[in-house]
Every structure is written in C-alpha cells, then in structure tokens.
Amino acid sequence: MRSRLAIGSLALALGAAAGCSSDTEDPIPRTTQPTDLPSQPTPSQTEDGGGNGGGNAAPKAGGTIADLLEVPWGVGFLPDGDAVVTERISGRVLRVTADGTLTRLGALSGAVPEGEAGLLGVAVSPDFDSDRTLYFYLTTDSDNRVVSAELDGDALGEPTLVLDGIPRGFIHDGGRLAFGPDGYLYVTTGETGNPDLAQDPASLAGKILRITADGEPAPGNPDPGSPVWSLGHRNVQGLAWDDEGRLWASEFGDSSWDELNLIEKGGNYGWPRFEGRSGGEDFVDPQLVWPVEEASPSGLAWADGHLWMAGLRGQRLWRIDVSASGKASNPTAFFTEDYGRLRTVAAAPDGTIWVTTSNRDGRGEPTPTDDRIIVIQP
C-alpha cells in the first residue's frame, strides 16, 4: 500500500492560471487568459456517418441493456462477458449481463458523492480468473484513492487500500482506471480545480499514474520512486490503448478546447500553461481538440479499429480514425442529442460498445428511464 508520494525529478515549469471545467455547474473564473495560443487543429464537424469516417458504415444503436441507474460511471468486463458497473452517487457496484440482468454485488460506503466526486472508475484484474480482484477509484472525505476488493460469487469483499493521498475536490477528480497491455494499472487524476497542482512535482493531482497491483510505482516509470507516468493534465476522463499498444487519453478543457492526447512516458501536457496546443518543445500537443460545447469528453474506448469518445456537454459519440503511425484524424459524431449526456464508453468482449448516460448527475435532463446503458454495434 502507498500513501501520497513525492514526484521527485519530474519538476517542470509551473503555470499561473486558475481554471474551470467545461462540464462544471459553478465555473471558477479564470484569472489569466493565454494570449499566445496558436491556431488549433479542430476536427471536422461531420455528423452521423456523413462521409468523414474513411468510408466506414455508421454505427447502429442496439437498444438499452439497463435503465433506471444512478449515474453509472465505471464499466469493466469480466472474463465471462458480464460487466461490473459503478454508480457514482449511490456507491453501488453492479453486475450487468448482456441480456440486461442486474445483480447488486455490494457498495463502497466510504465514497463521498459531492460535485463530480464519488465512486468513479473500476478495473478488472488481468488475472481475475485466479485472484477474483476488482479495483475501484473513489473519493472519501479526505482524499481520492484506489482500493481493491475480491469478488466471491455475487458478493464483494471488504476493500483493501492500494493507493491513497490523491488530492480530492468538488470538481476535477479524474477517476478512470485501466490495466494496460503491460499489466500495470493506470490511474487518471484531476487537478481538483487548483490548476497549479497539475505541474506540481509534489502532488499526485493532474496526472496519469502507473502503478503495480499493490500500489507501488511500476517498473520503468520516469522517476523510479514515483507513480507518475505523465503530468500537466486538467482532468483526464478516458483511457484506451490501440492495437499497437499506444495509450490515448481524453481530457476536459477549460473555456475553449477539449483534448484527445497520445500519452508519452514522462510527457507534460501543458495545463495550466496552455489549453489546447502550446507549440512549445517542452510540452506535448493534443492530437485533436474540440470546442468545449461539442465534447466535454469523458469515456474513451478502442473498438473496430477506431477510438470512440463520449461527450457529456456535447451529447454525442465521436468515432476517430487512427493511422498506423499513430495519427488521430477524421472525428465523426453520432447519436447527437439522442441520449443526452454520454459518460463512459467500453468495448465489450462480443465486439459491441457499451455507452452509459449521465443525465441524473444534476446537469442533464433525465428521461423517466435514465440513467441507461446503451449497446452500440460499431
């Protein structure tokens, strides 16, 4: 188990801006506005398969798998094809089958659902068949943390601390968990509405972390004593690896540009010095950006040879081409305003995509059946 860790040799230039989330109800005024932003690589606005997807057929909605959920946030698939789903506000952990059967596995009573916080991401151990272990990201009354728990049949065991001391906030708590192809656990954290933490070498906030299953810094990290894999993030909400093993992340911008980033070991992604492209050698520029009203990107998945990115404020699902050399292009929007706010995208073992709505989070307009899990045929 690990407590809050110093980040050592990853110190880079600090910014001097305050920020607000494009998906935050009560924005925090920005104290400084960058004046040196270059033109941004904005995506095409092609909607609903209108020819911008490289000749690919449009995805089809396959119906609702589950409804009447309370802000489903994390989705992780078990080896048998069932999904483990977390609810941010209730703290419940559910098993959901492909035919829509719901089973309550338990609840994490320590989760504190304030603002954007609560019970967030879930990841299934790569060795689940033998260790039966699930990993969760949750906000407590003192911090954000990662815990693990064994699943015994349909009963979730007592949680065990994996990593604590991640700063918490009313907004920008990160929360996505995913095991990479290397077998290590990747954790996204937000800067809690305090932008300077993203560049702070002594803080775990505003980072992507890479740890072992026991919470130790993973071998090969930029600083061997630190869990930090990359820094300078505002609020990463989605992680996905493509077929070449490249890591992609979707990230909330402030008032102008949301981002899709290709994550590099030790990379600095610029916040709060820059929103969108920096054009500077010390920072990694996003591959694509969106005006905040079209995205507020959350979940990200790799399926059918594309990245799929959910939009909260944008209320749409983006399909993004990725070239063999790792260049993202041709974003195409689907299902715009059909289902409201879209939170999580997960690639199911059967080749479909599961998308969760987030209309009961206080910022949407829920229907009588929200929140839902929608199945998409890519």
Q: Where are the beta strands (DSSP E) in 56-206?
A: 60-66, 72-77, 83-87, 92-96, 102-107, 119-124, 133-139, 144-152, 155-156, 160-166, 177-179, 185-188
How far is Cα 54 from Cα 159, in angstroms, rounded to an integer?
A: 45
- Evaluate the CA torsion angle 377, 62, 364, 67 in order and state its sign: negative
286: which 2 tokens? 């996003």
Per-residue exposure over 43-60, b if at least 16 CB sit within 10 Å of its own CB, e if not: beebeebeebbeebeebe
Distance in Å from the first CA to the final CA of the chain: 40
- The tokens describing 17, both together, are 């801006």
Q: From the candidates 145, 172, 273, 277, give the one annotated as an active-site residue.
A: 172
Burial call 341-376: b when 16+ CB within 10 Å, e when fewer: bbbbbbbbeeebbbbbbbbbbebbebeeebbbbbbb
Fill in the DSSP letter of residue 348: -
CA distance 123 to 137: 9
Strands 185-188 and 236-241: unpaired
Residue 233 a catalytic site member: no
Find out whether 58 and 334 touch, Cβ atoms under 8 Å: yes
Give the CA radius of gyration of the chain. Answer: 19
Q: 183 with 126: CB under 8 angstroms? A: yes
**Active site residues per annotation:** 172
